[in-house]
């Protein structure tokens, strides 16, 4: 029997799965770097560092130029500047990946309950989902700082399962990175991955998942073809 057979809900990742947010990160990070007298960096460099939340991102970005002690000495100032820049442009440069809305609508029409779990701070996430018209699909949204631990820890996924009153085997996680897959494996949730996002420079084929789907709409079709519950 397919691991998707009993699925009743889906947990969808945000950056790299629903939205191409690298252009937003690019503007915010280079705004922060300019304040610290650092040269701009490229979108390609940033895409390798996104996925493990803001603290990790800022440490990685500063670590391109500075040793660990200097990074820590400037961390608070850099984080403050980064958040200020990000919130001032949040969503203005980011775009939906193909068939995201169609995929969410199809999942919902199939009777699945939907949650968004991202490592992005919740203060960035809530206005971004609203701006892009995606907030209406989600009953539950957790950011990277909503709970004591973020992905790849299983806690956010386990929390959604508890919120929905479902077993982990009934809740599929869909994401673009090994963080999503590791969190899902640790929680006992089935997991599907998309190949177009940001996987720390690694091929998605090297990530342990229950399937790779080209779009969220394809995820919806796959789940529909495998579920035994109507
Ligand atoms: O902001 C990040 O670090 C990545 O966020 P994600 O979990 O939505 O991919
Ligand atoms: Mg992601």
Q: Which residues line ligand 1 (CB under 6 A)?
A: 13-16, 50-53, 118-120, 151
pLDDT bin (cut points 50, 70, 90) of residue 229 is low
Q: Quote the pLDDT of residue 201.
A: 87
pLDDT bin (cut points 50, 70, 90) of residue 230 is low
Q: Quote the pLDDT of residue 44.
A: 95
Q: Quote the pLDDT of residue 228.
A: 73
Q: Which residues surround ligand 2, an ion (CB under 5 A)?
A: 13, 15-16, 176-177
pLDDT average, residue stretch 123-133: 98
Q: Which of 13, 20, 24, 180 is catalytic?
A: 13
Taking the centre of ligand 1 as the mean of its atom positions, its distance from the CA of residue 120, in whole angstroms, is 5
Q: Where do we find the tokens 């909503």?
A: 146
pLDDT digits (tens, 9 = 90+) for 10-55: 999 999 999 999 999 999 999 999 999 999 999 999 999 998 899 9
The per-residue pLDDT of the chain, averaged, comes to 96
CA distance linking residue 121 with residue 79, whole number of Å? 12
Answer yes or no: is pLDDT of 68 > 90.
yes
pLDDT digits (tens, 9 = 90+) for 178-214: 999 999 999 999 999 999 999 888 999 999 999 999 9
pLDDT average, residue stretch 170-178: 97
Q: Quote the pLDDT of residue 164.
A: 98
- Binding-site sequence positions for Mg(2+): 13, 15, 176
Q: Quote the pLDDT of residue 196.
A: 96
Please confirm, yes or no, whether 24 is among the known catalytic residues.
Answer: no
CA distance linking residue 230 with residue 11, whole number of Å? 19
ipTM field: 0.97
CA distance linking residue 170 with residue 38, whole number of Å? 47
CA distance linking residue 138 with residue 115, whole number of Å? 5
């Amino acid at each position: 029997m397919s691991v998707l057979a009993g699925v009743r809900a889906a947990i969808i990742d945000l950056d790299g799965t629903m939205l191409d947010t690298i252009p937003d990160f690019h503007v915010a990070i280079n705004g922060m770097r300019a304040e610290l007298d650092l040269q701009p960096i490229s979108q390609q460099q940033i895409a390798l560092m996104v996925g493990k939340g803001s603290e990790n991102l800022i440490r990685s970005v500063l670590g391109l130029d500075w040793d660990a002690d200097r990074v820590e000495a400037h961390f608070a100032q850099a984080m403050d500047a980064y958040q200020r820049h990000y919130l001032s442009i949040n969503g203005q440069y980011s775009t939906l990946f193909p068939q995201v809305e169609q995929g969410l609508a199809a999942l919902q029409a199939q009777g699945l309950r939907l949650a968004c779990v991202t490592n992005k701070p919740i203060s960035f996430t809530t206005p971004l989902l609203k701006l892009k018209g995606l907030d209406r699909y989600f009953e539950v949204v957790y950011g990277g700082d909503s709970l004591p631990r973020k992905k790849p820890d299983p806690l956010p996924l386990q929390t959604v399962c508890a919120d929905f009153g479902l077993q982990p085997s009934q809740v599929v996680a869909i994401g673009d990175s090994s963080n999503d897959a590791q969190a899902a494996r640790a929680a006992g949730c089935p997991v599907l991955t998309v190949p177009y996002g940001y996987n720390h420079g690694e091929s998605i084929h090297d990530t342990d998942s229950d399937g790779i789907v080209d779009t969220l709409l394809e995820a919806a079709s796959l789940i529909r073809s495998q579920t035994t519950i109507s």
